[in-house]
A and B are shown apart, each in its own frame.
Chain A
Amino acid sequence: MVVRERPVHGLSPDEVDRIFHGLADATRRDIVERVLHEAQSVSTLARRYDMSFAAVQKHVAVLERAALVTKQRRGREQLVHGNPEALQRAARLLDDYERIWRHRVRAIEDVLAEDALAGDPEERTEP
């Protein structure tokens, strides 16, 4: 691979850490999915899980620090909104690496196709 460092995705290593930590828990992933679909109050969310209001509030706080969700006050309630842009950036980190392998697999196929044309690869020296 090529050694060249430069900022990418506009994310610092700390921000990347927070995003992955945010998504590393099943309840938090579920919360993100729900609020991406439709903004919900913390108390509505809390009713969906078999855990205390405080525990759900804590999960939301972790997601908020990772910028995966935002909170907005509406009257007496806190509405939790999804932040699709941050999620896309997290997924892109692994997508970028996937591309390397897609290229490699395609190139391996070319090597194998030439071997097939040339006969048994093990009994033949490279031109």
Chain B
Amino acid sequence: MTVIDVRKDPQALTLTFVAEFDAPVEQVWQVWADPRRLERWWGPPTWPATFVEHRFVVGGRSRYYMTGPEGEKAGGWWRITAIEEPHRLEFDDGFAGEDGEPNTDMPTTHAVVTLEPLGSGTRMTTVSTFPTLEDLEKLAAMGMEEGMRLAMGQIDAVLAG
């Protein structure tokens, strides 16, 4: 994997992330479409995600929760707004309470995922749009925690290797 490019646009409140994988587009599409594959990478290393619902159609809803090291749970939801298999996916991503219902106090981000063939591999571009600066601040606060978990996950991987 190579992270090709990261573009941050404070004015438009977007983060664009471009990565390339050594796998065909159809296979990369499956890591989004198949909930069993999706839950293996969506959550941070120590907060694995479990998708209890994943209706991968336009207008479809996904519900998931992530389980922390001490068994604590954090819920989330998606609403799919566009699908062009296997090249384009758009969805809203938000937080949910313990009952699985969307938490409207928390920010919702919009994600646009594009997969393009690149030789025998795939270029994946994700564009995340944040609704307001305050929302970005809230998400960044959580991102910091995830970043720390990421670092710990990397250490684990080195030790296991």
**Do these two chains interact?**
yes
User: Chain A: residues with CB nearer than 8 A to chain B?
Assistant: 1-9, 11, 13, 16-17, 20, 23-24, 90-112, 115-116, 121-122, 126
Give chain B residues whose Cβ lies under 8 Å from the Cβ of A1. Answer: 66, 74, 76, 95, 139, 142-143, 146
- The reply to whether A93 and B30 form a contact with Cβ atoms under 8 Å apart is no
Which of A16, A93, A99, A112 is within 8 Å of B150, CB to CB? A99
Does any Cβ of A come within 8 Å of B147's Cβ? yes
Chain B residue at minimal CB-CB distance from A24: B11
In the assembled complex, the Cα of A90 lies from the Cα of B11 at a distance in Å of: 12
In the assembled complex, the Cα of A33 lies from the Cα of B42 at a distance in Å of: 37
The number of chain B residues touching the other chain, given as a range, is 35 or more
Instruction: Give the interface SS of chain A, mostly helix, strand, loop or mixed.
Output: helix
In the assembled complex, the Cα of A108 lies from the Cα of B2 at a distance in Å of: 12
- The reply to whether B139 and A108 form a contact with Cβ atoms under 8 Å apart is no
Which of A6, A16, A104 is within 8 Å of B134, CB to CB? A16
- The reply to whether B15 and A16 form a contact with Cβ atoms under 8 Å apart is no
- The reply to whether A20 and B10 form a contact with Cβ atoms under 8 Å apart is yes
- The reply to whether A105 and B28 form a contact with Cβ atoms under 8 Å apart is no
- The reply to whether A103 and B140 form a contact with Cβ atoms under 8 Å apart is no
In the assembled complex, the Cα of A104 lies from the Cα of B30 at a distance in Å of: 15
Query: With contacts A92-B140, A126-B36 known, what are 13 further pairs, Cβ within 8 A?
Result: A1-B66, A2-B74, A3-B103, A4-B142, A94-B8, A94-B140, A96-B141, A97-B15, A97-B128, A101-B6, A104-B41, A106-B1, A121-B30
